[in-house]
Structure 1
Amino acid sequence: MTQCPMQIGGGLVLAFLLSACATTYDHHSDDPQLTALQAMSQTECEETDVIRGWNACSRHAAEQAYEYALMSSNAYDVDTFELGERFQYIEHEYEQANGFGYVLYERRLNGETTEVIIAFRGTDFTSGPDWLHGNLLTGQRRSALALFDDVSDRYDVTPSVTGHSLGGALATQVSLCRDVHLSVVFDSSPRFSKALCEETYLNRNFSVVEFGEINYILRLFGREADQLYTSLNCTREGGAVTQHSMHTLARCLTSMAALDSDPARAIADRNAITAPDHWPAPR
């Protein structure tokens, strides 16, 4: 359970099962949240700093990602997780005609909106329009770009994007074609294309995947965006489909973040999230 983040691009996965690693990320920012992501990528993961089976690198990744994971899960069902006072729910839409869906949140600090987050919904496996317009044609990708433009016009801050599976592909498509604050995706599908972009952007892209989940095969043979990539082994039960669950990954990341973070611990308590039974007992 000590996999570390790596930077990958063009579909080349450099490593998966590392117990200690150091990677670099080329872009810099004075934004504390983005600086934290950069610091994570430059952290050397030492086996001596392990808490309940997770090294510092994995825990740092979880701390940066867990809020976006909860939002990505809520894109399927907006009432699944409560995000606490720091976030304001804005809207939630689902278009049955093409399967496109999202949820919109604001991050608040002292009454001010400091971040706007669009969480894109992933595939509904029972929805024919979702498969057609999301996974085969470009309808949902075009809807995602149009939504991002609309949200950008409504706010003075540049939106962030997140999502799971197909929702991760939609977030990646937006990050490829637009200047975004941050992109955080989970178990993402490689369903994006530069052909939809008038110009392309190199944003801060952060990808978290459950090792062995079903989209691993698609990513193996597809092209990946340039991104900071973290592979974790959160789920110990079931096969590749079970391991693809955003709900399970969100709970695991929140539990992991709560090992070091008081805000994450408060969110875990609010949602009755406890560490998985297979984690080693606290020392």
Structure 2
Amino acid sequence: MSRLKPLLIALFLLGTTGCASLWNPRETSSCPAAPRETLNTPGCVKAMAALGYEYGVLAALAYEPQASPDLAPPAGVVEAESCTEIACDGAKGYQYRVFHRVRDGQVAEKIIAFRGTDGRGDWSTNLFGRKDQNRAALATFLRVRGDGTIPVSVTGDSLGGALAIQVSMCHPVHLRVALDASPRFYKSLCPGGRALPPPADADTKLLLFSETGEILSPTRWLGRNPDQLATRVDCIVGENTISQHDVRRLAACMIHRAVEGGSEDARRYRDANRRAFDRYLPDPQG
């Protein structure tokens, strides 16, 4: 029984995530952000983190403000809309925030940050396979996209990461950054019941970041995931798998890796938000 216990736990976690995709994660791709690197080498992790850390911060800010004290949006990004009620867009537990990236006084990008599990409504989705939040995320994306003249990106962690993946499976997005994502998405919800074809070659449009050893890792290994660039970061040591599944700490780790890679934008953000950085990741590994 002792040998079966880890497998049974992994199968339980997989069973509660409702995975429903037909694609495997791209774990061995070359690194588009650092052409001389392969995925998950130190140089690639740092380059990929520089591309995704701002969206990691916004995924953390999808929760109530008091959940992420001292954490500010990246420079030039402002909150434009939020839905933090018990039932947003008719879906139990579903919540999100919309941010705008502003350049020269104009909205250059819309970013939807889907909140992860944070209440009873979310657990009913997790445990009983309800698709209400997935449908709500697709409806939110279409409404925010509008006429399509402004690019829309999506982000989120855990259940929120799954919702971001759901949107990117069904509709073209400018960028999708999923963090510690649960494999809970359904191609049947896409127009015509068909998911978008996987990218022809490695690109940086569909990104997945996770902390090594966090609790949902087995579900992504055992399950099926959309074709995406999956980057594992290592900043948290001596913790259990649940405490490693923390979007604020993962976002801080992404900032740390981006600074290591020489990103001046990440360095400026870290220095301006040092209290938050030290709060969430006081002693990063590496």
TM over 0.5: yes
TM-score (norm 2): 0.78
Residues 157 and 14 (structure 1 numbering): CA distance in 2 closer, same or farther, change over 3 Å?
closer
Greater RCO (Cα-Cα under 8 Å, separation 6 or more):
2
CA distance in 2, matches of 1:84, 1:117: 12
Q: Secondary structure at the match of 1:242?
A: coil
Equivalent runs, 1:1-283 vs 2, <5 Å = 10-11=23-24, 14=27, 23=30, 38-40=32-34, 42-44=35-37, 55-78=42-65, 80=68, 81-97=71-87, 98-124=92-118, 127-133=119-125, 136-153=129-146, 156-198=149-191, 199-202=194-197, 204-259=205-260, 260-272=262-274, 273-274=277-278, 276-279=282-285
1:243 alignment partner, SS class: coil
The alpha-carbon deviation at position 39 of structure 1 amounts to: 3.2
Counterpart CA distance in 1 for 2:164 and 2:284 is 32
Displacement of 1:129? 1.5
After the TM superposition, which segments of 4 or more aligned residues of structure 1 sit over 4 Å from their partners?
12-15
Q: Indicate the larger mover: 203-212 or 142-151.
A: 203-212
Does the 8 Å contact 1:122/1:163 carry over to 2?
A: yes
* Deviation for aligned residue 1:91: 1.6
Hey, what's the Cα distance between the residues in 2 that align with 1:117 and 1:78? Answer: 17
> Could you tell me how far apart the structure 1 residues matched to 2:75 and 2:177 are?
21
Instruction: Provide the aligned C-alpha RMSD in A.
Output: 2.4
> What one-letter code is carried by the residue in structure 2 that aligns with 1:186?
L
Deviates more, 1:85-94 or 1:241-250: 85-94
The one-letter amino acid of 2:269's match is: I
Structure 2 residue runs without a partner (length 5+): 1-21, 200-204
The percentage of counterpart residues that share the same residue type is 35
Q: What is the alpha-carbon distance in structure 1 between the residues aligned to residue 195 and residue 121 of structure 2?
A: 28
Shift of 1:134: 5.3
CA distance in 2, matches of 1:14, 1:82: 32
The offset of 1:234, in angstroms, is 1.6
How many aligned residue pairs are there? 244
